[in-house]
Amino acid sequence: MTTTVLGYPRIGADRELKRATESFWAGGIDAPALDAVGARLRRTVWEALRDAGIAHIPSNTFSYYDHVLDTAVLFDAVPPRFAGVAAGRDGREAELARYFAMARGADDVPPLEMTKWFDTNYHYLVPELSPATRPRLAGRKPLSEYCQARGLGMETRPVLVGPLTFLLLAKPAADAPPGWRPLELLDDLLACYAALLDELGAAGAGWVQLDEPILATDAGRAALPELERAYARLGRVAGRPRLLVQTYFGSIGPDAVAALKRTAVEAIGLDLVTAPDSLRDLAAVSGLGERTLVAGVVDGRNVWRTDVPAALSTLTSLLGLAGEVVVSTSCSLLHVPIDLDAETGLDPALRERLAFARQKADEVVLLGRRLAGGEQAPGAGAGWTRAAAPVPASFVDQRVRARLDALGDAAERVDHEQRSAARAGSAASAAPPLLPTTTIGSFPQTDEVRAARAAHRAGGIDRTEYERRMRAEIDRVIALQEDIGLDVLVHGEPERNDMVQYFAEQLAGYASTRHGWVQSYGSRCVRPPILFGDVSRPEPMTVEWTTYAQSRTARPVKGMLTGPVTMLAWSFVRDDQPPAETARQVALALRDEVADLERAGIRHIQVDEAALRESLPLREEDRADYLTWAVGAFRLATSGVGTTTWIHSHMCYSEFGRIVGAIDALDADVTSVEAARSHMELVEDLAAAGYRRGIGPGVYDIHSPRVPSVAEIEASLRAALRAVRSDRLWVNPDCGLKTRGYAEVEPALRNMVEAARRVRADLAAD
């Protein structure tokens, strides 16, 4: 029985990729040095998979920034504004400069838009296409990585983003005519894929994997004629490698399987973890015939050990439905940390239930051996089974369950309209001026702040000294905000390593890792905590920092919490109960924190639901249920407040149109959302939906180091005012500032405040 994985983390066990790219951007290393790191990282991955015993090793899963960006560059789908970048330089330096400019922007050239990769916390860059785009095979990355592996004695399967997924994830460029869709480039693009397949075949590649996760979405399922046309065309390429069309993140439905069966592709890959009903889809089309089925039975995006008997029984039931069954992960292992062996500090009762990327590769191999030869097969241990490992009593907390039961659905708060009226009549919550200026919460995480935390962790400075330094940072951030003239201040979140991990570290039922890094975007990584048991809050989490900040200023300071949906979305979450249930436990803990903040005199409390949109199920039919529990959890967390406290929320990458109803239902007084990169599109959605609350459409893009001009921000505000009543419009950047430096943040915020003043003056004059 043969085995594979669909992709592997590319950042390196010690985040070597982050260090190398950031050093390259800062001018610390040159292109050959960066390329040497890339080559070493690829080699390490291939060797790890080979040594684990994986039969079919993937290649081209490496990327300096993002695999969708790589695909755009490979096919020369580069918007014209990047043509002038790196003028005067040539060769590899120029190539890399252009590549990173597309990801991060350069001088006056804004980058591509960035958004979430399906329902994960990984971000890809959105290709911009137009009728003027002339796709051509412009690069050699898949080929050269294949050749690198071959030179090391390893035969690999190059992995490509498939044509349908690439086009459906792309957006029409600003100059595309209205109604034009990137899918119109399909035939041109197929010619490029065909040329690439030809090259890869000539180089000796036996297989190529084309990833089509878009088939798990409604958009993908609506494009089955194009799917069939695409793979019929690629199937006809003479001398090509065998083709694996790989799907993941959800079921693709029997029609998509049937469409692929009508083409010459040799293998189809299905995610049997997220979508166990794929089995039914296969049966509905009488299986794959002689084709190979790549069966994703090892969860590629959560950290729980595979229940071996359960996976074996799935695999066994697949045997009659395909010519061959290949044991695999459900998706790329990009989404999990690299090696559990590095985590020596975890509770053994938890640790024995976990598997990271390396351990998952071992599980795939074990399943392959068991399926081929039974328990007696060489190297085939019995494998882990959930049935033999009941949940430890220490993971359960009956008090949390009892409290939630007692609360029932009774936890409702006074609604926004009433709160807004109460505030109007209350001196305690003096209204902010028209177009209030604020930020999303974090200020730059400076080297000093991170170094202090690292020193504290390593025992170099004690807790008192650490806290003294954090307070000094808060002093600085408060003074700066007053000087800039912001209206609603924040403490800046210097004490937080991450907005999810920080809370997870203080909540019972959650564990954190030391080295469990996962790529979020480009060089930025997170260590998703592990939510393994019933959640509760032993002690207040943010009250001291927030009240300290408030003590330093007469202006209101906004308390800052991470909401239940986001706490789940950016963690690895127990899979033994519905997420709705887990979210309620987190919400209950937050509810206590909200109450403590309010009692301590904090008048503005922001509960970030940054991940509300990305967690939206991929299929329309699953969305209503999700939104019901997501909104319910937010309301539970915020329903303890009195009438004069302002509830704020924040969302990233919101594609507002899709969830404006849910945002309304959160009943926050003010919601700040990403809008800068999507050019205030949301404002129109808002007007259309009749949204009645405060809204802060981000007026500039914090993901890029560019400093926006006053005029630019002013224009955004005026655009927003066409759709939003002036007493509901808030002025803020589109996300937290932690990834930026003060050199950019300070002028940007000054420009933002100045733009708000100018627009305010005009409003007053009207």
Q: Using CB under 6 A, which of the segments 113-121, 218-226, 324-332, 440-448 binds ligand MET?
A: 440-448
Establish whether 732 is an annotated binding residue.
no
State the binding partner of 524 from ligand 39S, Zn ion, ligand MET, none, CB within 5 to 8 A by kind: ligand 39S
Chain centroid offset of residue 156 CA = 28
Residues contacting 382, CB < 8 A, separation 6+: 308, 375
360 is in an annotated binding site: no
- By DSSP bridging, strand 123-125 and strand 114-116 are antiparallel
SS (H, E, C) 604-642: EEEEECCCCCCCCCCCHHHHHHHHHHHHHHHHHHHCCCC
Q: Examine residue 570 and tell whether it contacts ligand 39S (CB under 6 A).
A: yes
Question: Segment contacting Zn ion (CB under 5 A): 78-86, 178-186, 604-612, 627-635?
Answer: 604-612
User: Per CB under 6 A, which region of 213-221, 353-361, 498-506, 758-766 contacts ligand 39S?
Assistant: 498-506
Residue 468 binds ligand 39S (CB under 6 A) = no
Q: Could you say which of 67, 491, 515, 703 is catalytic?
A: 703
When asked if residue 549 is in the footprint of ligand MET (CB under 6 A), the reply is no
Alpha helices of 59-107 — where are they, by DSSP H?
Answer: 67-74, 91-104
CB 298 within 8 A of CB 311: yes
Binding mask 627-666 vs Zn ion (x if CB under 5 A, - otherwise)? -------------------------x--------------
Count of residues that bind Zn ion according to CB under 5 A? 3
Q: What residues contact residue 702 under an 8 Å CB cut-off, 6+ apart?
A: 440, 676, 733, 734, 735, 736, 737, 739, 740
CA distance 629 to 666: 11
With contacts defined by CB under 6 A, name the span among 264-272, 460-468, 497-505, 678-686 that binds ligand 39S. Answer: 497-505
To the question of whether residue 60 is assigned a binding role by annotation, the answer is: no
Does the annotation place 493 within a ligand binding site?
Answer: yes
- Using CB under 6 A as the binding rule, whether residue 741 contacts ligand 39S is answered as no
**How would you label 482-511 residue by residue, b for 16+ Cβ within 10 Å and e otherwise?**
eebebbbbbbbbbbbbbbbbbbbebbebbb
Among 3, 165, 497, 513, binds ligand 39S (CB under 6 A): 497
Nearer to ligand MET, 1 or 560 (CB): 560
Q: What is the greatest pairwise CA distance in the chain?
A: 85
Identify the residue whose tokens are 């071992």: 362
How buried is residue 431: exposed, middle or buried, by Cβ count under 10 Å (0-12/13-18/19+)? exposed
- CA-to-CA distance for 586 and 595, rounded, in angstroms? 14
- Binding of ligand MET by 489 (CB under 6 A): no
Q: Does 442 bind ligand MET (CB under 6 A)?
A: yes
Q: How far apart are CA 655 and CA 735, in angstroms?
A: 14
Q: How many residues bind ligand MET (CB under 6 A)?
A: 12
Window contacting ligand MET (CB under 6 A); options: 141-149, 274-282, 363-371, 734-742: 734-742
Is 121 one of the annotated binding-site residues?
Answer: yes
- Least Cα distance to 317 among 293, 291, 299 occurs for 293
Is residue 703 flagged as an active site residue? yes
* Site membership for ligand 39S, residue 520 (CB under 6 A): yes
Q: Is residue 736 close enough to count as binding ligand MET by CB under 6 A?
A: yes
Alpha carbons 217 and 469: distance in angstroms, whole number: 48
Pick 5 or 610: Cβ nearer Zn ion: 610
Structural contact between residues 118 and 618, judged by C-beta atoms closer than 8 angstroms: yes
Query: Shortest approach of Zn ion to residue 651 CB, angstroms?
Result: 7
Among 312, 500, 618, 659, binds ligand 39S (CB under 6 A): 500
CB of 281 to ligand MET, least distance (A): 36
Indicate whether 440 belongs to the interface with ligand MET (CB under 6 A). yes
Tokens found for residue 181? 């869709």
Taking residue 244's Cβ as centre, other Cβ atoms within 10 Å add up to 26
558 is in an annotated binding site: no
Does 723 help bind ligand MET (rule: CB under 6 A)?
no
- Using CA atoms, how far apart are residues 707 and 747, in angstroms rounded to an integer? 7
Q: Contact with ligand 39S (CB under 6 A): which of 402, 428, 454, 688?
A: 454
User: CA-to-CA distance for 439 and 734, rounded, in angstroms?
Assistant: 8
190 binds ligand MET (CB under 6 A): no
Known binding residues are 15-18, 116, 121, 440-442, 493, 524-525, 570, 608, 614, 650, 652, 674, 735
Known binding residues for 5-methyltetrahydropteroyltri-L-glutamate are 15-18, 116, 121, 524-525, 570, 614
Q: Given the rule CB under 6 A, which residues bind ligand MET? A: 440-442, 499, 560, 608, 610, 650, 652, 735-736, 738
Known binding residues for Zn(2+) are 650, 652, 674, 735
Annotated catalytic residues are 703
